[in-house]
Chains A and B, each alone.
Chain A
């Protein structure tokens, strides 16, 4: 197949792999689409939290590491941020098998183009290529929601590609079942002019919060940073520890506040335990009372100098 596209060599009839030509559907021979059986077995779940954002110092990509199959955790330590080449990484969500396969195909195509042209395509070109390849299989059940982030001649670049062929350029993307939670944290704290440490902190916090509330996200938090010199895997930390532990430098409003304590198992939940105000209500005997409630921490964020809301 590679040889065909590079020098127009055609495989002899019997050996040619049955890939769809332009505009064809890749169906088993002779079957109408409606006659295809629906996939049986455990529902393919798209449980994950992945995010990527671009800022002055590059592109950050972060993801959880839980691969779920319905309510069964298939792998608690999977790799959802995949490097494509030295200056490009992608976050994968959707069906793990689809993502893995299409990323390998993308790597192959980019490598071929680099050999032909003498330089790698831009991030826009790579995203366009992936979207075009996926579009040919539209309607056949592929599920790939990926954010491709990298550094090319124009600086940091980020694109979102979905398996129906959607291709979006943007600054912040999150995909997966935990993405609403992650977006909440990201939208609050994102600035193009963040420092590198602030960006790491924001990404970790977003995934950790999503992992806390989303059943299909969890495990660890992978963090990658694509700089001018290439991608770097910054850390892999346990999501629960990240959520419970002290916040890092760069977020002054968060430093002194402790995370929400676990709801008590022994004392009955009082009226104040509902919603997000947990101050004192139903706390375990040994638990530390937070200085400020959860809403105040959300308000504080970057406005630490304004003082508490009372």
Chain B
């Protein structure tokens, strides 16, 4: 049944599916994991870095991109598609500033990206974008926000979310561990993001890329050293927690 309705995306299947859009979501599930967390004064984005070939320049592979001074996004899925979406979003951020004299709100740029994605699900001759995006930032009212878009063009606000490979595992971890306490301070929120990624990433801190935005400050990418020190802290805390537990059982 599916075979007859997945050629051109403008065709609905009899049971109401747009198969091309669902296949795009499958492409997203193949991409490397990205996690986003909304703290009280900070927003954190972490991605799993795929290991690069020996001769490849690591710095050219960037999965976290700034859209404007106060908004940035991470994606999961087809990198080439993401590049197009990010370029359009960056242009829109500046156009908005030119015509409306105000920087974009996070919700506005999310809605723009989602509308762009939806257009591609309703034009013939085009396929949907094969990416999901996590868009974070602060509005001028100082409130942090996190939004997620998917290839169908829907978007939702989240407190914490993950996309890409093993997104389900990471999301379950976040559901268990995202409490008022764990996002109380900036460093706690950062640690939560790293812990969430460590659940699914092989070989630890080397394969994690992290970025934060604090209120009224531009995007800050963490260096490998900073991530290592966070990972070391996390492992130390884990050991101490284990010790306490084993003490109690004895």
A interface list, Cβ under 8 A from B: 113, 117-118, 121-122, 124-125, 128-129, 132, 153
B99, B102, B107: most-surrounded residue (chain A CB, <10 A): B102
Q: Which residues of A contact B99 (CB under 8 A)?
A: 125, 128-129, 132
Q: How far is the CA of A94 from the CA of B105 in the complex (A)?
A: 36
Task: Select the residue from B99, B105, B107, B140 with max chain A CB neighbours within 10 A.
Answer: B99
Rounded to whole Å, the gap between the CB of A111 and the closest CB of chain B is: 15
**Cβ of A124: which chain B residues have Cβ within 8 Å of it?**
101-102
The one of A118, A125, A153 that contacts B100, using a Cβ cutoff of 8 Å: A125
23 pairs, A vs B, C-beta closer than 8 Å: A113-B100, A117-B105, A117-B108, A118-B107, A121-B100, A121-B101, A121-B102, A122-B100, A122-B101, A122-B102, A124-B101, A124-B102, A125-B99, A125-B100, A125-B101, A125-B102, A128-B99, A128-B100, A128-B101, A129-B99, A129-B100, A132-B99, A153-B140
Residues of chain B touching chain A, judged by Cβ–Cβ distance below 8 Å, are 99-102, 105, 107-108, 140
Nearest to A7 among chain B residues (CB) is B115
Chain A residues in 8 Å Cβ range of B108: 117
Give CA–CA (A93, B101) in the complex, Å: 25
Contacts A113-B100, A125-B99 aside, 4 further interface pairs with beta carbons under 8 A come to A121-B100, A121-B101, A125-B102, A128-B99
Majority secondary structure, A binding face: helix
Cα A125 to Cα B97 with chains together (Å): 9
**How far does the alpha carbon of A118 sit from the alpha carbon of B100 in the complex, in Å?**
14
CA distance A37 to B208 in the complex (A): 71
Contacts of A122 in B (CB 8 A): 100-102
Please name the residue on chain B nearest to A127 by beta carbon.
B101
Which 9 A-B residue pairs are closest in the complex by CB-CB distance? A124-B101, A125-B100, A125-B101, A128-B101, A121-B100, A122-B102, A125-B102, A122-B101, A128-B99
Docked complex Cα distance between A12 and B100 (Å): 30
Q: Specify which chain B residues have a CB less than 8 angstroms from the CB of A129 in the assembled complex.
A: 99-100
CB distance from A18 to the nearest CB of B (A): 24
B216 vs chain A, min Cβ distance (A): 15
Nearest CB of chain B from residue A120's CB, rounded to whole Å: 11
Residues of chain A within 8 A (CB-CB) of B101 are: 121-122, 124-125, 128
Query: Given the complex of chains A and B, what is the CA–CA distance between A121 and B108 in angstroms?
Result: 13
A124 and B100 alpha carbons, distance in the complex (Å): 7
Q: Which residue of A lies closest to B140 (CB)?
A: A153
A132 CB contacts on chain B under 8 angstroms:
99
- Measured between C-beta atoms, what is the minimum distance from A126 to chain B in Å? 9
Distance in angstroms between the alpha carbons of A132 and B108 in the assembled complex: 21
A129 to B102, CA, bound (A): 12
Q: From residue B209, how far is it (CB to closest CB) to chain A in Å?
A: 32
Which A residues lie within 8 Å of B107 (CB)? 118
Contacts of B140 in A (CB 8 A): 153
Q: In the complex the two chains form, what is the Cα distance from A22 to B100 in whole Å?
A: 18
Chain B residue at minimum C-beta to C-beta distance from A121:
B100
List of B residues within 8 angstroms of A121 by Cβ:
100-102
Task: Tell me, in angstroms, the Cα distance from A118 to B105 when the chains sit together.
Answer: 11
What's the nearest-Cβ distance from chain A to residue B128, in Å? 18
How far in angstroms is the closest Cβ of chain B from A196? 28
